[in-house]
Every structure is written in structure tokens, then in C-alpha cells.
Amino acid sequence: MRGRLAAIPGVLQRLAAEQHSVDFVEKVQELCRRELGFELPESLLRGAWIAGLDMRAVYGAAMLATLRSIAEQVHATGFTNGRDPDETAVSFFLDCGYHAVDISPCSDGRLKGLIRYILRLPDEAIRYRNAYAGALFDVEASVGRWIEAELSRFREWRPVGPEAESRYLKIAVYHWSSSDPLHMGCAAHGSNRRRAAAGALSRLREFREAIQNQFCCGASVDLLLVGVDTDTDAITVHVPDADGELSLHRSIDNMDLYGQTVGDDPNAAYLKVYEALRVVSEQEGWGSGNGQPTEGMRRLVATLLVNNLSQIDYVCAAHGGRYADVGHAEHFISVGDGFEEFQLRNIAYYAHLQTLEEGTPDMDVGIRILESLNVSRGLPVVVAVHFRYDRRVPGSRDRTIAKCRRVTDAIRARYAELARRGLLVCGMTVQDQAAGSPLEVVDCETAPAARPAAVDDTSGRICVDEGGKP
Amino acid sequence: MRGRLAAIPGVLQRLAAEQHSVDFVEKVQELCRRELGFELPESLLRGAWIAGLDMRAVYGAAMLATLRSIAEQVHATGFTNGRDPDETAVSFFLDCGYHAVDISPCSDGRLKGLIRYILRLPDEAIRYRNAYAGALFDVEASVGRWIEAELSRFREWRPVGPEAESRYLKIAVYHWSSSDPLHMGCAAHGSNRRRAAAGALSRLREFREAIQNQFCCGASVDLLLVGVDTDTDAITVHVPDADGELSLHRSIDNMDLYGQTVGDDPNAAYLKVYEALRVVSEQEGWGSGNGQPTEGMRRLVATLLVNNLSQIDYVCAAHGGRYADVGHAEHFISVGDGFEEFQLRNIAYYAHLQTLEEGTPDMDVGIRILESLNVSRGLPVVVAVHFRYDRRVPGSRDRTIAKCRRVTDAIRARYAELARRGLLVCGMTVQDQAAGSPLEVVDCETAPAARPAAVDDTSGRICVDEGGKP
């Protein structure tokens, strides 16, 4: 996946060298077909013999087309296709006592492989996943998701009925860099690990208090705070006490455990993990709490730690224990609902939002990161706006397409200077909510009437239209 | 209420005449205190002897201060204070079979007295009330409100438990003008009565289908479509058939019924209303349906019609059967959550929104209306941004204040030309969700760092700060 995206600039460089030959268009399309697997939109090549090829637009089009082609490949291999979330995946969390899990990591691209690789959890079992800059998630939106999950439990007995002892778990995930802690940590918290952890913890507590105060009948949620060292993928789990309370000072550093368990067989490793849980729960001083967490939470934390030991193992074997790219190396910004197809470290910065007006802080951080990665090399920032609709709801697809356009227009208006210089390329896709549904490209050339007057329409030219479909 | 708002220009005119006298500041404050009941912010008067008084800013400040003073008066008289919504009000709807009612009228100011006067319903019994231009309500947001209402029924037995035969009712309200149907109807539908009715009806059907398709176990909702002649306040009720289906061609025009029942005693009127219900349900042709609606729906429709007969009576007695101001005469634009304190015909255009990005169409219509009312006279458009927070949710007040600022900044940025000319005055207030809570003024001078870079900061000067509190 990374390979195909990283290969694009090289191919385009060769393509640029051809641009003044007579049979340029055929040569270029032939090169693209062979090396990238698709042709470029005709509109980008038509006038190239006069004005020269707009390489920024070509780069954007190639990047977006590659993304769609990768997604098609992912679907074809059945990676996400046709899996039924109501099976073993959900039952793992149910065994731990949780009927619904909501994870809010930081938007940072180095956490993009969080669920599948760093925590090695079954993808389909995580009901809600929404990234926010600095893991500073939206409390009101989280309450909305809790309401939705509760109703499906009461009305539809999904995944279990209301009389079962099952609970809602909210996990926040912050991150830092052990190699370069002062520069390569969380941008939203000025690379300060402590501030990142404290920020996420205080949002978690606000969320729980919101549920407890707004709803009666003992409504509450369980909380978990996890940190990730993005250089090694080792996690730190803040262990709740028997009352579910968290502390910044009561946590298990999995890199330590890795050192203690290296070479052990799985059983021995599990025993050491449970022992670490016991020890940390009995500690005195700042991190002291009221005893060990519930049995289900112990099982969950132990599983997270043991799963993550395998990931540390992988990073040791494949990357010598530390990624070469400890810093940012995102290829694009993913905006809106996340792509389930792209879950890989550093592939994208992910800003979960419904309107740019609310998501401005998340988007600003992402633009800053991609600007320093791409614009310095003369390449544009590629933004993939993606929203999911519900086929069962009449008008949902049309409204979702309109939302795509609205958000894209707002992005172009806010970063107008980048757009004017051809350094902002936006693509739009929508997708049905059913797992494994194909990406559908939204043509940004149509229905310009719907755009607000303030939009700089000249930026429209760099969009990929239907012709650019792989 | 209207009197106090309408008096402002006259007072300001007298005040303008004083602006070059030496003891100007005292004179002005004395005049304001006496005639309007409050003083103007010092900051507006300070430099007046040099640059002249900024009458637009003064008008805006006076308008916003009057609104707050009226709200205080409303609270003091206990109009909305301390009422418990779980009493007779709710039981009226429960008697009709409905546990929750969600009304979406058009944003038009002539419907601002809809609940309290035109329909004469108990205010506190309407759980959700959100106005959209052309009554084209947000289907997804409506589904969210349904989820919330359902959960409180399942979890908290509010107002009744899940086993009771109770249902959710969504009402859409469009409008037209009988005096000048081609110009004074619904602006969002080009004053076309049929288009307004059809637009609202298709949203209603989309909403029902969304609920039916997204949720299992026979989830559904009841629908009702109501039209209002804004010149006479007479309603037209589209009568559902036994299956809950609506038709544009099956309706009862209450003005006809008024003609038939004038002089009757209440019992005779009720009989005629029920007779009209029977007749309309049995009609043949385009409007034919599958028999009479459910008993509860019959009771509800009959009550709406009889209540509205009293309102027509009032309009006949007090306004000769037809309002003098058949057109727009709004004094300000209410943005965000509606003010429960201001429910009066033509007092405000109400745009229900959480972000301007999503609410742009509603806001554009409102600005167009107020521009033609005020700007032509040289007066500014006054926008009262108002959101409610939940005291029980930690951080909710701060986030709501931030939302006020965000939306206000977005409004100033979108209508920058108006703002630049001093023709856009924005005020911000927040209010706790508990009924009868006081309005709290948000000072727009503080925390400028939170503002997006695109905002024209010169418009900041025309805000009313804490000093302008009545």
C-alpha cells in the first residue's frame, strides 16, 4: 500500500520528461497504465503541449486514483468483505463485559494502524472509531453514540438485551515519540507527553460525568486510557482501579514487559502480564487506587498488552525495533468518516468531522503537517473527503454527496491560498454503510449552483472527475 | 413585546438630535433609562462628540438589550417558569396516543407564535421544535431526536414505558398568504403554496421511511402536515387515513369550518369538526384514502381545529380578520436554539442550526428578508445567536459559549460586506436547559484567539459587551 503511494512521484518524474514529445498523450497514458494501473483524466493532458503539464494536479489525480484502486483491491481480497460483526469479534468484548466499544485516538497518521496492528483487535468489533487532534474528542457527539448504542440494546437486543450485565467502554489513545520526545510527539499538545495524556484523561472524565448526570437509573460508562510510543508501537495502558478510576501515574509500560517476557512461551507471558496488573494496582503514592479493576477489564487490559507484545516483536524483526520514519510521513489527509480500507501507520492524517466549522482545529493541524511534508517539495496537499451514507434511508446518498461538496468547498475556502497555488487537491467519495461497499467517486464538476458564493471556483479545475476513475 | 421593539427607532431619533450637546452622555443615558429601561454601553458613547454617534451600532445594542430585558420580564412573570412538563400538558398528547411530539415549522417569522397562539398547544408538551426554511427539516437530525426520545422511554419510562401503546408524532408546518399568494407566501418555495406543502410532505415521508428501514421491531412514526394562512392564522390540516398516509388533496380548511361554526356553542362546533373529519376521510378522487385516522389522531386533529377556531376569532376581533402586516415585519434573526421567551407572530425569523456551514440556506433566506426590511431604512440586521447548554454536563457551558462565538464568527465572515458597513449586529446569549433559566450574555470582546483568521475583526466593535446588560 505504502509502496504504491510512494512510487507515484518517481513515475510522474519520468512522465514529466516526456511532456514535449509529439505522441505525448499516448506515451503518458501507456506509462501510467503500466506503472500505476490506471490512466490520467484526459482533461489534465489536453492542453499540456501549450501550457506545460500541471504536475501538481497530475500528482493529486494520481494519488486519489491510487487510493481508489487500493480500496478496490482490498475489497476484492475480501479483507473487510462480508464479515459478520456479530460473531467472535463482538463476543471477545462481551466476554470482557462490554457490549459496545468507542475508541477516539489522535488524528495523527502514525496511529492509523492502531486497531488492526498496534492493538491487534478485531476491526468489526469496535463500534465507533473517531479520531480528533490530540485525542480531544467531542463529548456531545460521544453522548450521542452512547444513546444510539443503548437504544439498540433496549429495542433490538443488539448485541445483548438490557437485563444482561453489559457495559459501554470508551477508550482514548494519545501518543508520544521516545526517540525525539520534544519534536515528534503529538502536534496538538506541543509534543508534550504529559499534556497529551492529561488532555485525553480529562475528556474521558467529562464524558463519564455527562452520562451520569444526564441519564438516570445508574447510567455510567467504563473508561480506558492508552498511550502509544509511535516509534516502537509499544503501548502504555493506564489501569483503572476497582471503582473504574484512572490515574496518569498508574500505568503499565509494555516495553518493560517486553523486556521481561522476551523468549517466554505465551502462557508464561500471560502470567507475567497478570502479575504486572496486580503489582501496579497495589502501588502506593501518586498512582495509588482502590485495588484491581474488574475481572472483565483485567482480561481486556491483559489481552491488549499481550497482543501488543506481538506487534513490538514485529517492529523488532522488521524495523530493528524502531521505525525509520519516526516523524510524520503521511501521504494524504482523510476527512469525514474514516476509510476502513486504509489502516496502516503513517498512511494518512485522519480528521473526523461533519462540518469544517466544527473540525477546524483538527484540520488545521493536518494541513500544517502535510504542508511541511509536501509543499516544501513542491507537491500539493491531497485531501480525501469521504462520507458514508445509509442506503436504507431515502435521500441519504444525495444528502451525503451534498455534505461532501459542502465540506470540500469549505476546505477550499479556508485554505484558499494553497488552493490558488494549485497546492490543495481535493477528492470526494461516498460509500454505503454496509461493510465492504465500494467507494463511489463524487464528481466535483457538477452542480456548481449548490456551492456557496465565497468559494474560489478556479480551484475546481484540479478535481478528479468521473473520467479519472481507475 | 412588539411595542417595545418598535419604539426603539423613535427613541434613537430623539437621541440622535442630542448628540452635539455638551452633556450629551448624561442626556442620552437618561433618555434611554426612561424610555427603554436600560443604559447604552459606555463604549458606544465615548467618542461620539468626535466622530458622531454610530447609530447602527446603537440600534443593534438597544435591540439586543431590549430582547434581554423582555426575556427577564417574561421570566419574572413566571410565564415559562417552573412549569413541570410532566403534567397535564404531556397527558393531552398521551391521551391522543403520542409520547413525544416533534414540530418543524418554516423559519418564517410569521409562524413564530405557532405553538402558543395559532395551535394553542401547551408549550411544554412539545418535546422538539426546530424551524427550517421552507419546513425542509433535517432528516438525520430528526432521526437523532427520535432515538433520544425512544431511549428515554425504554430506560427511564419517560413519559411512559416501552410496553404502552404510545407513538412518536412528527408535524411539519408550511404556510402561505391568502391576501397576496404570489409574493407573501413562503420565501423558500418562491411563494408557491403547493410546492411548500409538497416539499414538507416529502420530508415527512423520508423521515418515516428512514425510521422504518434503520430500526427493526416495527419501528415507525406518525406524521401530520399542517398549513397556515399567515394573514388570518387559519390552518389547513392534512388528515391522515387509517394507515397514517397523507395526501396533499385530503385536508380540512379551518376557515371554511369557521364560517360554518360561527356563533355555535362549543359542543356544536366539536360535532361539526368531527363531521368534517368523517366527510374528508370518505372523499373520492385524488384525495381518497383508506378510511378515517386512528381515534387518537382524530382527537388530536379535532383539538387543533377547535383551538385554531379561537385564534381565528381573535384575529377577527383584534385585527378585523386579517393582520395589517401580511408581509414580513421581523425585528431580528434568531439563530441556534430558539428563544422560548419570544413566541409572537413576526417578531423574529428563526434559523435553527448548530453550524452555519449546515444552516447556510436557512440563514441566507433570513438575511435576505431582514435586509429588505431594515437595510433599506438604513438600519442594521440584528442577529441574536442563542444556544442552550446543560448544567449537568461538565464543560457544556464553555463549549456552548465557544459554539456561540464560532457561529457568530462564521456569520460575520459570510455576510462580511454587511458587517463592514455596520449593517450586521450580532449578540450572543447562552441559557441552561432547565425551563425558566436566565439568559446569560456572552461577551464577544474576550478570547479573540479562538476566532478563525478569516474573520473581519473590525465588526467586533459593534457587539454589546457585558456593560450593555440591562
The dihedral through the CA atoms of B104, B105, B111, B115 has a sign that is negative
pLDDT tens-digit readout, A209-256: 999 999 987 888 999 999 999 999 999 999 999 999 999 999 999 999
The pTM assigned to this predicted structure is: 0.89
Whether A108 is catalytic: yes
Q: What is the pLDDT of residues B254-279, one digit of tens each?
A: 999 999 999 898 899 999 999 999 99
The amino acid sitting at A271 is L
- My answer on whether B360 and B428 are in the same domain is yes
B190 and B288 part of one domain: yes
Does the residue B78 lie in any domain? no
Suggest the residue from A155, A398, A401 to mutate for an interface test with chain B (most B CBs closer than 10 A): A155
Domain boundaries, position A25: 2-60
3-state SS assignment for residue B135: helix
In a domain, A302, yes or no: yes
- Chain A residue numbers with beta carbons less than 8 Å from the beta carbon of B356 are 357
Task: Give the Å distances, CA to CA, from B465 to A1, B69, B380, B413, B461.
Answer: 55, 15, 18, 20, 9
CATH of the domain at B378: 3.30.1330.140
B361, part of any domain: yes
Look up residue A50 and give its amino acid. I
Q: Is A206 on the interface with B (CB under 8 A)?
A: yes
Q: Is residue B341 part of a domain?
A: yes
Distances B189 to B174, B176, B196, B431 between C-alpha atoms, Å: 10, 10, 6, 33
Residues B109 and B249 in one domain: yes
CB B300 within 8 A of CB B239: no
Percent of chain B with pLDDT over 90: 69
* Domain end point (choices A42, A60, A78): A60
Same domain, B290 and B342: no
Q: Are residues A118 and A16 in the same domain?
A: no
Do A110 and A148 have their domain in common? yes
Both A219 and A337 in one domain: the answer is no
- B219·A454 Cβ contact <8 A: no
- Residues B154 and B192 reside in one and the same domain: yes
> In this predicted model, which residue has the larger pLDDT, A125 or A465?
A125
**CATH assignment at residue A18:** 1.20.120.1310
Q: Would you say residue A69 lies in a domain?
A: no
Cell 417569522 sits on residue: B109
- The reply to whether A175 and A218 lie within a common domain is yes
* Average pLDDT value over all residues in chain B: 88
Residue B9 lies in a domain: yes
Over 50: is that where the pLDDT of A6 sits?
yes
A335 and A315 in a single domain? The answer is no
Q: What is the pLDDT of residues A370-404, one digit of tens each?
A: 999 999 899 999 999 999 999 999 999 999 999 99
Q: For chain A, what is the domain count?
A: 3
Q: Does residue A324 lie in a domain region? A: no
Instruction: Provide the chain A residues 416-455 that lie in CB contact (below 8 A) with chain B.
Output: 452, 454
Q: Is the residue at A215 inside a domain?
A: yes
Q: What is the pLDDT of residues A431-456, one digit of tens each?
A: 999 888 999 999 865 433 333 333 33
CB B249 within 8 A of CB B339: no
pLDDT band at A78 (very low <50, low <70, confident <90, very high): low
Q: Which of B290, B319, B348 is the last residue of a domain?
A: B319
Q: Assess contact for B431 and B386: CB atoms under 8 A.
A: yes
Q: Across the strands, what pairs with B262?
A: none
* pLDDT of the residue at A87: 62
Q: How far is A65 from chain B (nearest CA, A)?
A: 28
Among the partner-chain residues B143, B144, B393, the one whose CB lies closest to the CB of A213 is B393
- Closest to B55 measured CA to CA, from B2, B14, B26: B14
The 3-state DSSP class for residue B347 equals coil
Residues A314 and A375 in one domain: no
Q: Residues of chain A with pLDDT > 70: what percent?
A: 91
Confidence of residue A363 (pLDDT cuts 50, 70, 90): very high
Please give the full DSSP string across B20-40, using - where no structure is assigned: TSTTHHHHHHHHHHHHTSSPP
> Mutual orientation of helices A139-156 and B139-156 as an angle, nearest 10°?
60
Give me the phi and psi of B98, to 5 degrees please.
Answer: -115, 130
Domain boundary among A265, A285, A319: A319
Q: Are residues B150 and B9 in the same domain?
A: no
Whether residue B206 lies within 8 A of chain A, CB to CB, comes out as yes
